[in-house]
């Protein structure tokens, strides 16, 4: 096990996530009109399940795989590095020899880890192994605001990820991130944004614009991603159907095994003034 992997284990075993990795309400999208994920907060069943830890025994829930995809030079490594190490360099080595980074969150008081996979430069030759994509819960498509062809290519990157995950039970979450926001003025950005939002619509992706260089919106983006993936993972485990109680609390009726309604027999007389307690 190399030292990076040991670090990943240490991250996951932390007792608590650091303050800015604690999520108690669903963070908002970048633009409310540019996301297919329109829920206003965590699903009620997710909140209930998290309040009652015993419902969430499945360990697979605790780690989610996120793959970062996009043309070479769009800033994928910079984006991950900004988030994980709060730093930026103009000169990343193409190969850093790391499979993934792990970031520990606490979502609704549940420990949750994002395993963030960055390529080691293979995207230059479009020869990413299918194991890179396999089992991904979320795909982050990174584009460069100064290079529109990187936006067009996002569709192909998503296709590759989907091809490597045929018939997945859960849908992969898709986020499209326009990076290098710092490099263009508002007019230019507006033009790219229109095109990026169109692409998001056709791919079923949520739209974001960030700068790995300045850090603008990077933290917000990953918090939103972690929360959405967590929500989907818990729903996959506990279901999204909201169970209505068959009988309202306090109506005093119970059903017998045949479905016949009976007056509830009092098991304890403590709430009944006339009964004898103790």
Ligand X SMILES: Nc1nc2c(ncn2[C@@H]2O[C@H](COP(=O)(O)OP(=O)(O)O)[C@@H](O)[C@H]2O)c(=O)[nH]1
Q: Does 150 bind Mg ion (CB under 5 A)?
A: no
What tokens were used for 81? 């590095």
Q: Does 189 bind ligand X (CB under 6 A)?
A: no
Residue 48 phi/psi, 5-degree rounding, is -65, -45
Q: Does 45 bind ligand X (CB under 6 A)?
A: no
Q: How far is the CB of 215 from ligand X (least distance, A)?
A: 9
Question: Which residues are 12's β-sheet partners?
Answer: none
Distance, CA of 62 to CA of 226 (rounded, Å): 11
Q: Can you tell me which of 183, 247, 253, 261 binds ligand X, judged by CB under 6 A?
A: 183
- Segment interacting with ligand X (CB under 6 A) among 28-36, 188-196, 206-214, 243-251: 206-214
Q: Can you tell me which of 35, 77, 81, 211 binds Mg ion, judged by CB under 5 A?
A: 77
Distance, CA of 151 to CA of 232 (rounded, Å): 26
Q: Can you tell me which of 31, 47, 73, 220 binds ligand X, judged by CB under 6 A?
A: 73
Nearer to Mg ion, 77 or 115 (CB): 77
Number of residues binding to ligand X, judged by CB under 6 A = 17
Distance, CA of 11 to CA of 16 (rounded, Å): 10
CA 8 distance to own-chain centroid: 18
CA distances from 4 to 39, 82, 148, 199, 264 (A): 36, 17, 35, 35, 60
29 binds, among ligand X, Mg ion, none (CB under 5 to 8 A by kind): none
Q: Does 81 bind Mg ion (CB under 5 A)?
A: no
Question: Which residues are 112's β-sheet partners?
Answer: 105
Nearer to ligand X, 90 or 185 (CB): 90
Nearest Cα residue to 139 out of 169, 109, 118, 113: 118
Q: Can you tell me which of 35, 45, 78, 150 binds ligand X, judged by CB under 6 A?
A: 78
First to last CA, the chain: 62
Q: Does 104 bind ligand X (CB under 6 A)?
A: no
* List of residues contacting Mg ion (CB under 5 A): 76-77
* List of residues contacting ligand X (CB under 6 A): 70, 72-78, 90, 92, 179-180, 182-183, 211-213
């Amino acid at each position: 096990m190399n030292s990076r992997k040991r670090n990943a284990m240490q991250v996951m075993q932390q007792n608590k996530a650091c303050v800015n990795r604690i999520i108690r309400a669903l963070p908002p999208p970048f633009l409310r009109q540019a996301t297919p994920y329109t829920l206003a907060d965590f699903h009620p069943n997710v909140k209930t399940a998290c309040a009652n830890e015993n419902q969430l025994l499945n360990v697979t829930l605790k780690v989610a795989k996120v793959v970062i995809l996009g043309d070479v030079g769009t800033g994928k490594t910079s984006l991950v590095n900004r988030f994980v190490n709060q730093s930026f360099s103009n000169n990343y080595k193409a190969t850093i020899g790391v499979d993934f980074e792990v970031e520990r969150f606490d979502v609704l008081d549940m420990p949750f880890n994002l395993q963030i996979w960055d390529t080691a430069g293979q995207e230059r030759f479009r020869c990413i192994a299918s194991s890179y994509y396999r089992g991904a819960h979320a795909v982050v498509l990174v584009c460069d605001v100064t290079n529109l062809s990187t936006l067009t290519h996002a569709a192909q990157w998503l296709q590759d990820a989907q091809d490597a995950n045929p018939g997945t039970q859960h849908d992969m979450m898709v986020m499209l991130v326009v990076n290098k926001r710092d490099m263009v003025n508002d007019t230019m950005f507006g033009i790219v944004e229109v095109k990026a939002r169109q692409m998001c619509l056709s791919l079923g992706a949520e739209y974001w614009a960030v700068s790995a260089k300045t850090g603008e919106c990077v933290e917000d983006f990953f918090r939103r991603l972690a929360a959405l993936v967590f929500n989907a993972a818990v729903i996959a485990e506990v279901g999204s159907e909201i169970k209505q109680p068959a009988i309202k609390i306090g109506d005093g009726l119970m059903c017998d095994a045949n479905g016949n309604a009976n007056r509830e027999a009092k098991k304890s007389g403590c709430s009944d003034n006339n009964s004898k307690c103790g």
